Structure 1
Amino acid sequence: MRKLLCLILALAMVFSLAACGNGNSEPTNEPSSSNEPKNEKVKVIYIGGTLGDAGIADATYEGYERMLEELPVDGEFVELPTDPSAYKATLLDACDKSPDMIFTSANNGMIDEVLSAAPDFPEIKFMVLDTALGQPGLDGLDNVLGILCAQNEVSFLTGYLAMKMSETGKVGIVVGVEYPTLSDFITGYINGALHANPNAQVAVSASGDFVDQAAAKETALAQIRQGCDVIYAVGAGSSFGTLEACKEAGVWGIGCDTDLAAQFIGVDDEQADCIITSAYKDWGAVSYNWVKRVIENPDALDWGTVEVYGIANGGCKIIENEIYNKQVPDEIKAEMNNLIEDVRNGELECPSYFDMTEDEYLDLKNSVMVK
């Protein structure tokens, strides 16, 4: 009897094991089918300027943070050194990490390093913000895309506003360093001022870099001593020095890249109140959309070219915040609205540095020199 019971138990175990191995089982330790999506993330490196500049670095970082939240992205932020001689090593270090994408700014020579490195890393897609139209060496590269916000358009608007707000007929612009993109800012600003007043005088100065606020402040004060009573600050982090000079001298300031007045509201209202507007460039949205487009369909992008985002397609605008509404008279705001609409509809074409010879550009600057 005991032997019969043992035999029955043994047979039961055999049938039980056989059942566990049949085709109806669902093993939990086996890997999923190769046909199922793997939800792999793409690796993106953002090489940006010093954060806290309230300029292109901060604006682009907003887009970077958004892509980390909303897109299948594994991201890394690398701060670009202030010394241009270190740009090459910084870029090559990033390339050696084998990312899928790198985006950065043209930034006073960085574009040259990207164009030099890109052919050696064909598997990496590069985007360069603030790339000049007609950038030498870009055409034919199938892994580099330049992006340009139409700073000539938004600066035309700020130049017009500056001259309308001026009591002296003299306005200024302080850039960090002048290179083609900054020359396009200057071109737009001068032509906007001339559109408002054919006898406009415009002081044009470079403070030396995009970091030194003290140097920018002294540069702006020199323009103010010449009689300029509206100053356009186009110097990233150094712009805070330009705007401080405006506050101390009791003249108007205009910011750039982000809403600079918003940085001071409730913190330094006297400073905020003198910043009548800012030339806003939506780098956050542009960088986010680039990464999204590359993920979805990289072949749809026109590599080796420069994409331009202007007033018409939302790439840039002037800030119309509570300070603007308070400080700018209604009749000037009405003129600005008409001007913006004319630019948006293409009825008014804003001259660009990229359509001029160097001699024509120098003649333009000399024609409005402050006397």
Structure 2
Amino acid sequence: MITWHTPVINDRKKENETKKGETKMKKLICAVLALLMVFSLAACGGNNNQPQPSDNQGSEKTKVIYIGGSLGDAGIADATYEGFQRIVNELPVDGTYIELPTDPSAYKATLLDACDQKPAMIFTSAGSGMVDEVIAAAPNYPDIKFMVLDTALSQAGISELSNFVGVLCAQNEVSFLTGYLAMRMSKTGKIGIVVGVEYPTLSDFITGYISGAQYANPDAQVAVSASGDFVDQAAAKETALAQIRQGCDVIYAVGAASSFGTLEACKESGVWGIGCDTDLAAQFIGVDDAQADCIITSAYKDWGTVSYNWVKRVLDGATDINWGGVEVYGIANGGCKIIENSIYEKQVPADIRADMDQLVEAVTKGEVTCPSYFDMTEDQYLALKNSVTVK
């Protein structure tokens, strides 16, 4: 069973108010306890050989807390929560889900509230500065193991933390695949990517997408835009429409909940869309089939499996966890993939699907290297973006 917890963020140390009738209640409790003791002694006296229940009867459960964004984001929160449900159902875990406040200034209080519950493990995602709060708190709670999803490879301040590990799905690899597919599906040679905001992890998405497009077509043109946040669908839609007016006929939506606006622009304009994090087309099948039919694939980051595997490894006492570092899960080890559903099969021509299969195999074997933002200088990254400017 998963416990839902809403943190009190205004005053974590506030004491409960005194209840009316407290003295009467104490007397009543004492009377009940005395009565129970009488019955208990009588039962024990009747049969001294009666087996007593063990204190450890049943499997002892380990307390694990997942601090996540609001469910329904069609992104990391939903994907990770699916894994959290599996953790609670399949592992000896007592799980609590805490929803992050919408105001990042409240993240610290939320995290400390979770820490004060004394769990064995806490995991969350890095967005909007949450990783910084975990890094600050971890030294003060050495008995808690912390894991932060989407931690950047360049993240500072973690090397000395023996109870912290960052996890990163190789978005550059899966975005390389989507960039290649987008350019193969494009009739104009112009494609776009709309992110919510740009920070290192999103820059890695962009790097992979551009590089994949260039792998398909050295003369690829790629529009790169940020809509402003990960919530505003109207802003994302307008951003995508601006790219479509430039001639982009495939748009990669990397904006969590705001991605729905990007994909709506694709539907209304008759161009292809590519989703991110979860299978976005599946959410529209039977509800808005026109919308589903334009989403040719999604870049799937398997946060659920990654989270499940981390908790299981900790429970099993694994010695290969990269504490004080970042672990990367890519195409080869199941961290990410492109969705190949019925719409992919219907909309993507057979020859392109066959080439995609070969490319996935080549990436898995290391025969094709997918460039990463984290291996570049800032000047190199800017040069990459400038090399594909839409004309």
Q: Pick the aligned partner of 2:102 from 82, 88, 91.
A: 82
Q: Pick the aligned partner of 1:26 from 42, 45, 49.
A: 49
User: Secondary structure of the equivalent of 1:361?
Assistant: helix
Q: Which residue number in structure 2 is paired with residue 246 of structure 1?
A: 266
User: Secondary structure of the equivalent of 2:276?
Assistant: strand
Runs of 4+ in 1 over 3 A off after TM superposition: none
Retained in 2: the 8 A contact 1:209–1:235? Answer: yes
Q: Which residue number in structure 2 is paired with residue 368 of structure 1?
A: 388
* Runs of at least 5 residues in structure 1 that lack an aligned partner in the other structure: 1-19
Q: Which residue number in structure 2 is paired with residue 179 of structure 1?
A: 199
User: Secondary structure of the equivalent of 1:277?
Assistant: strand
User: 1:251 deviation in Å?
Assistant: 0.4
Greater CA drift, 188-197 or 134-143: 134-143
Q: How far does the alpha carbon of each residue in 1:174-204 deviate from its partner, in whole angstroms, 9 at most, with x for none?
A: 1111111111000000000011111111111
Q: How far does the alpha carbon of each residue in 1:267-309 deviate from its partner, in whole angstroms, 9 at most, with x for none?
A: 1000000000000111111101111111110544221111111
Retained in 2: the 8 A contact 1:172–1:231? Answer: yes
> How many angstroms apart in 1 are the aligned matches of 2:367 and 2:239?
36
Q: Pick the aligned partner of 1:100 from 120, 123, 142.
A: 120
Counterpart amino acid of 2:383? D
> How many angstroms apart in 2 are the aligned matches of 1:189 and 1:302?
28
Counterpart amino acid of 2:49? E
User: 1:99 deviation in Å?
Assistant: 1.4
Matching of residue 165 in structure 1 with residue 188 in structure 2: no
> How many angstroms apart in 2 are the aligned matches of 1:27 and 1:334?
69
Q: TM-score normalised to the size of structure 2? A: 0.86
User: Secondary structure of the equivalent of 1:53?
Assistant: coil
Matches within 5 A, 1:1-371: 26-28=49-51, 30=52, 32=54, 39-297=59-317, 299-371=319-391
CA 1:298–1:38: 2 relative to 1, 3 Å: farther
> How many angstroms apart in 1 are the aligned matches of 2:190 and 2:260?
21
> How many angstroms apart in 1 are the aligned matches of 2:74 and 2:369?
29
User: 1:83 deviation in Å?
Assistant: 2.5
Counterpart amino acid of 2:241? L
Alignment coverage as a number of residue pairs: 348
User: 1:25 deviation in Å?
Assistant: 5.5
Query: Identity percentage over the alignment?
Result: 78
Cα RMSD between the aligned structures? 1.7
Retained in 2: the 8 A contact 1:108–1:179? Answer: no
> How many angstroms apart in 2 are the aligned matches of 1:97 and 1:25?
39
User: Secondary structure of the equivalent of 2:306?
Assistant: helix
Counterpart amino acid of 2:345? N
User: 1:39 deviation in Å?
Assistant: 2.5
User: 1:105 deviation in Å?
Assistant: 0.6
> How many angstroms apart in 1 are the aligned matches of 2:105 and 2:386?
32
User: Secondary structure of the equivalent of 1:293?
Assistant: helix
Counterpart amino acid of 1:292? K
Q: Give 1 or 2 for the bigger CA radius of gyration.
A: 1
> How many angstroms apart in 2 are the aligned matches of 1:367 and 1:82?
37
* Runs of at least 5 residues in structure 2 that lack an aligned partner in the other structure: 1-43
